[in-house]
Amino acid sequence: MDGNSGNEGPLAGLTIIEMAGIGPAPFGVTLLADAGAQVIRIERQSGAASLSGATNPDQDPLLRGRRCICLDLKQPQGVEVVLRMLQHADALVEGYRPGVMERLGLGPDACLARRPSLVYARMTGWGQGGPLASEAGHDINYIALSGALHAIGVPEHPVPPLNLVGDFGGGGALLAFGVTSALLQAARTGRGQVVDAAMSDGAALLMAPFYAKLAAGSWRDERGANMLDGAAPHYGVYRCADGKFVAIGPLEPQFYESFLSRLGLKQDPLMNGRGEQENWPRLRERLDQLFVTRTRDEWCALFQGSDACVSPVLSLSEAPHHPHNVARATFVDAAGALVPGPAPRFSDVERRLPPPPQREAAVTDELLHMAGYSSTEIGRLRDDHVLRS
């Protein structure tokens, strides 16, 4: 299908059909759009909404790079519109419970019959099979079953790590990887396939290094007892005099030496005893007492230019204004709101923010014309309330 999303990139020339949903599937599609794919979003008759809670959809990073069309999929004509669009598409992404797309008449069999090379990607919490496949759930449930939630938090209880591990890391990011992988194979073979992306699988995969450590006997299956889970005093967060925090992580000997050097504690026996885990509580207490004597920014100034691995813990309102983030344009302006920009970066592609969602009637008409509909047929779709601008 011809068209330009406004952002050339490695995936330019590819067309993704996105069935409107929330959470991980839109995030995965945003990654594809940021990389240059043209995305056509099939929205519900109930209307469009911001996925991130932004008042202005133009500020929503989970909707950028889309051209949208609103269809009533309960009517056969609406389903036919999607099938005709698929004849010129490379992939379809949906995030419904198993069986929903089949009941609409848009399951993999129907879609691949129209477009044999189609990559049909399915984003769910539990996957397309297994005892829990049809049950409801959210990020917290998926990461609970994977072991990830058990490993994160304080010794007394787990702490949900926002919905980063299941929805976005184990969900949307791996969905985008699965779609891209399947697209590469389809380009070689001419055959499409179904990508079954499950957040519970993805969250488990993100835990692979820790399962490996557990099997090797170098990880204790409890919170607050390991190097990277808050137990080690040299890998943690400390409160400063102004109530703000610094994060420290000088794990390697040379980085820890730099850390102690800036503190003037290179010869301190306790500070040099971090190799023995029984020293960790006293060492942490010492650092607690030390860091509370200066403000966060004073500490950062002291460690600036060193390899001590000390950073300020920035709030969401502070992070976009940090000099490093400003220099790299990590955050970009979207209709007056600072949001994370496209990543990763490509050496031969200009990094540009994809346009906000386009929902104008003219866009809808253009998409339908590209799918082979005449102006008369488009008018009939509107008259029958299959199509809403």
Architecture of domain 236-327: 2-Layer Sandwich (3.30)
Q: Which residues pair with 302 in a beta bridge?
A: none
| 216: Cβ contacts below 8 Å, ≥ 6 apart | none
Whether the pTM exceeds 0.85: the reply is: yes
Architecture of domain 15-206+334-388: 3-Layer(aba) Sandwich (3.40)
| 318: Cβ contacts below 8 Å, ≥ 6 apart | 312
Residues 85/87/90/92 CA torsion (nearest 10 deg): 50
- Predicted confidence (pLDDT) at residue 52 exceeds the cutoff of 90: no
Distance of alpha carbon 371 from alpha carbon 85, whole angstroms: 5
Tokens 């009517």, residue located: 75
What's the pLDDT at 58?
A: 81
The reply to whether domains 15-206+334-388 and 236-327 share a CATH topology is: no
pLDDT tens-digit profile of 227-253?
999 999 999 999 999 999 999 999 999
Domains of the chain, by residue range, sit at 15-206+334-388, 236-327
- Under the banding of pLDDT at 50, 70 and 90, the label for residue 8 is confident
Which of 84-88, 127-131, 353-357, 373-377 is predicted with the least confidence, judged by mean pLDDT?
353-357
CB 131 within 8 A of CB 125: no
Catalytic residues: 138, 167
What's the pLDDT at 162?
A: 96
Segment holding 303, helix H or strand E: helix 296-303
User: Does 209 sit behind a cis peptide bond, omega within 30 degrees of 0 on the bond before it?
Assistant: no
Distance of alpha carbon 17 from alpha carbon 94, whole angstroms: 9
What's the pLDDT at 215?
A: 98
- Burial-class residue 152 by CB neighbours within 10 Å (0-12, 13-18, 19+): middle
Segment holding 188, helix H or strand E: helix 174-189
